[in-house]
Structure 1
């Protein structure tokens, strides 16, 4: 009886002191950030192709990331650049080409540019989607209504299968106004990160649940600032990071416990996670 009383008293003291059971036992909860396949497994397969997405899903990525551009006839297609020059055997700006014209072009390995709806039809609820919107060349937002309509059509919002990201605050606020249940990530450019303060983070938290920054800018201070405003921190890598050892950089991000990482190679990113989280 005395032993039981002692345990109850100890448990009460731990709770009142703010100490968790994990802390009392010397154990810490597993750390497992989201692993987001940047343009699919784009280190291993051509970016934004079905093969790239399939590889990412096979390699256990939590999300496949999809950049959107709008065609001349108003179709939303998965491509990073505003032109087809770099990734296809054709030339021209997406905004000046119809979907039919774009479908006549080939990506690497003979694959085709996909619309967002074609991608969702292919993978349905078997994966989660991290979708980037953007303004057009005139600074206008034109893709948001159509995108939300597609997401609702395939039940992705209700099933918690989608996150929307953008550097455009205007686009994200529009998404939020269309459906406040969609999780939103506000991407932040380098100079903005360096100047960011509590006021800016508080404003972002009104419509977003996450901020996204370059991995090399991540540090405990910015992570603490984000969490103070109930914002998660996701980090992404740039082409220059490859020459600066992305593997080492991602480990440093894991060390400070960022909430998510964008990666071109999900299997590699997962292999570098702290041992207890594998």
Structure 2
């Protein structure tokens, strides 16, 4: 999942042009009126992303879901890691898929956070290891809810199958404790074919083709043509396999969705979860628009806005 600072001041609003019904429907993932607090790679504003301390902190802050990215090591082990290369958040270098689990877990996945965030530095973060999905579910069990991305399926062949099998084997499907997300429509459709009981969210990445006024929009994964051109057929295609849509709010400080887009998606019976929102003013604006979930590095801020 990409992280972006959203700024709603002075940004052009781009509207969806279609309506599908008289009122928005409930998010299939949430009770009526509830907004999901999705801890993006854990409480990654407070601790190194996708590490056990980040997930511990998210739980302590009462996030609704632990969000993480699943990838496969060279020896086929499922791990929580965002980038396709290990360079940014460990002291190693190279593609994650070239490491065995043993090799990967020799890397320091925490000290980088201390260097980049001296005001939040903690000696306990030094020497943290990349966690496996087995370690995560062993720590938190099926009482926790997990929002897991099929990350870079081209770099992780067989990931849809591995993740579905893992979720079934750990009782997460039966416990209604897992949501699977991906930018890849193909990866999600494979997961749906393997187990249609698992709720899926189609991620999309909207961006302007240019920066001139009125520039056309294109969706990163080519699942939909862009929010201004969204059609009933586009949403129906997503609804065939997914229960929600996850999208960015801005691209390089240019707003790419608006309240009309949110209404359109919700009237189609899909939840709408926006990433990655870290400031309270933007959270409030999106809640006013009617989004049903927010990805955030700071679940405490969102809970404060929600008055939880």
State TM-score, norm by structure 2. 0.74
Partner of 1:180: 196
Secondary structure in structure 2 of the residue aligned to 1:57: helix
Aligned to 2:90: 88
Tell me which of the two structures has the higher relative contact order, counting C-alpha pairs closer than 8 angstroms and 6 or more residues apart: 2
Gaps in structure 2 of 5+ consecutive residues? 1-21, 23-30, 111-124, 207-217, 220-225, 251-255
Between 1:40-49 and 1:184-193, the stretch displaced more is 184-193
- Give 1:31 shift: 3.7
Q: How far apart are the structure 2 equivalents of 1:168 and 1:30?
A: 28
Q: Secondary structure at the match of 2:280?
A: helix
1:214 to 245, 248, 259: 248
1:162-241 correspondence runs (5 A) = 162-190=178-206, 191-192=218-219, 193-194=226-227, 195-216=229-250, 217-237=256-276
Deviations 1:168-220 (CA, angstroms, capped at 9, x unpaired): 00100001000001000000110224343221111000000000011344422
How big is the shift at 1:54? 0.6
- Within 1, Cα distance between the matches of 2:244 and 2:283? 18
Please name the residue that 1:253 is paired with: 286
Which shifted more, 210-219 or 117-126?
210-219
Q: For residues 164 and 32 of structure 2, what CA distance do their matches in structure 1 show?
A: 34
Rounded Cα–Cα distance in structure 2 between residues aligned with 1:157 and 1:83: 30
Q: Would you say the 8 A contact 1:68–1:78 is kept in 2?
A: yes
Native 8 Å contact 1:215 1:236 kept in 2 = yes
Q: How does 1:5-16 map to 2 (within 5 A)?
A: none
* Distance in 2, Cα, partners of 1:201 & 1:96: 37
Counterpart for residue 56 of structure 1: 58
Structure whose alpha-carbon radius of gyration is higher: 1
SS in structure 2 opposite 1:124? helix
* RMSD value, Cα: 1.9
How far apart, CA to CA, are the structure 2 residues paired with 1:64 and 1:213?
A: 18
3-state DSSP of counterpart to 1:113: coil
- 1:126-137 aligned at under 5 Å gives the runs 126-137=143-154
Matched, 1:147 2:180: no
What secondary structure sits across from 2:143 in the alignment? Answer: coil
- Structure 1: which 5+ residue stretches go unaligned? 1-17, 19-28
Q: Does structure 1 conserve the Cα–Cα contact (< 8 Å) formed by 2:39 and 2:66? A: yes
Question: Which residue number in structure 2 is paired with residue 118 of structure 1?
Answer: 135
Bigger drift between 48-57 and 226-235 goes to 226-235
Task: Find the aligned partners of 1:143 and 1:252 in 2 and give their Cα distance.
Answer: 36
Query: Offset at 1:137?
Result: 4.0
> C-alpha deviations, 1:235-270, integer Å up to 9, x for none?
002xxx76xxx3221110011121100000101111
TM-score by length of 1: 0.82
1:45 is displaced (CA, Å) by: 0.5
